[in-house]
Amino acid sequence: MRDVLATWRPVIDTEIERLLPREIDAEYVASFFGEPTYEYDSTAIQRALPDLTWDLLDRGGKRWRAVVCCLLIEGFGADPHDYLPYACIPEILHNGTIIVDDVEDGATMRRGETALHHDFGTDIALNAGNALYFFPLKIVARNPGDLDAETRLALYEMLMHELNRTHLGQGMDIQWHNEREIRMTEAQYLEMCACKTGCLGRIVARLAAILTGQFAEDERHAARYAELMSISFQIGDDILDVETATEDGGAFGKGIGNDVREGKKTLMAIHAARNADPERAARLEAILWADENTDEEVREVIDLLRETDSVAYARECALDIASEARDHLAALDLDEESATQLAEFTRFMVEREV
């Protein structure tokens, strides 16, 4: 799978660069965004959009959203090279959300470097993040795939559906973060993941299905596959944070045991709060709620998550959801090579070191 990612990544990056070059001029701005009424200041726009975007893109990222989109397009029997600009849509959206989320979360680091709003200033970073929400949506109107009107409309309606729910998910997550009590149900937690992370996955899959003209039922299976995989991945990520918390170093730029320090209400925390005795559950809420935690407190929470079998429980959930994802993938009539690569990818993403 690493090979597939390695093969596709430069193709995707070349395509993103074609859409949003590293160096732009007034001619590019006019051709992509439309003629100016008066006169663009392309020097300012250079700094406001491509400089910041490429700073982030060059920091890494596997571009898996674009790659999965391409694999699905191939699986549906079309040539992904005919639809590369579309495959970049979720990838660009994702990078926009990263910038905005970091402002919302008050993050200091991103991919091992200073978060963009610290590097460039909150104003310009935030505007670029938001610009990256709308930039990719313009691709559909530019119509590089020569799609008929019905297909373009279907793409817009799909994108609006998913991008609305993305903000519901982020809203729930933030709101919970701002409450001391761990009151959400597991179903609500999974819904938050489905909206916040899953919807971007759904965009990946539904793009592929709509672009290649699949039946509604197949679009639904593809969307569910990507959604469930995203949820499983999210839970796996939370587990990884706990698993590596007791080790030294760790490869994560974001830090270690960070979810506890950030007061994140993970599936493990919800499970532990429900299964610990009331006193320890209250202690869990208190530590997650506190602005600062000692290493001792972080360890205390992690010990509790283990004692209540919450880590094992979350792992089981993640694996069940991944298996459900694979069922939806199997329900699709994909060409064999793509299906194998996608199944492998699912394993790669979910299992990792979990």
Contacts with a second copy, residue ranges (CB under 8 A):
29, 33-34, 36-41, 44-45, 47-49, 100, 103-106, 121-124, 126-128, 130-131, 133-135, 137-138, 140-141, 149-150, 152-153, 156-157, 160-161, 163-168, 170-172, 174-178, 184-185, 187-188, 190-192, 194, 198, 227
CB 33 within 8 A of CB 88: no
Of the pair 72, 158, the CB lying nearest a second copy is at 158
Assigned token pair, 40? 């663009």
Interatomic CA distance for residues 293 and 304, integer angstroms: 15
Q: How far is the CB of 322 from a second copy (least distance, A)?
A: 15
CB 168 within 8 A of CB 195: yes
Q: How far is the CB of 142 from a second copy (least distance, A)?
A: 9
Of the pair 114, 294, the CB lying nearest a second copy is at 114
Of the pair 149, 251, the CB lying nearest a second copy is at 149
Q: How far is the CB of 194 from a second copy (least distance, A)?
A: 4
Residue type, 333: D
Interatomic CA distance for residues 187 and 109, integer angstroms: 31
Q: How far is the CB of 125 from a second copy (least distance, A)?
A: 9
Of the pair 6, 30, the CB lying nearest a second copy is at 30
Pairing of strands 109-110, 113-114: antiparallel
What is the phi-psi region of residue 264: left when phi exceeds 0, alpha when psi lies from -120 to 50, beta otherwise? beta
Q: How far is the CB of 8 from a second copy (least distance, A)?
A: 27
Of the pair 157, 307, the CB lying nearest a second copy is at 157
Integer CA distances (angstroms), 9 to 17, 243, 272, in order: 12, 29, 39
DSSP 82: G
Of the pair 92, 304, the CB lying nearest a second copy is at 92
CB 91 within 8 A of CB 70: no
Interatomic CA distance for residues 47 and 31, integer angstroms: 18
Q: How far is the CB of 263 from a second copy (least distance, A)?
A: 12
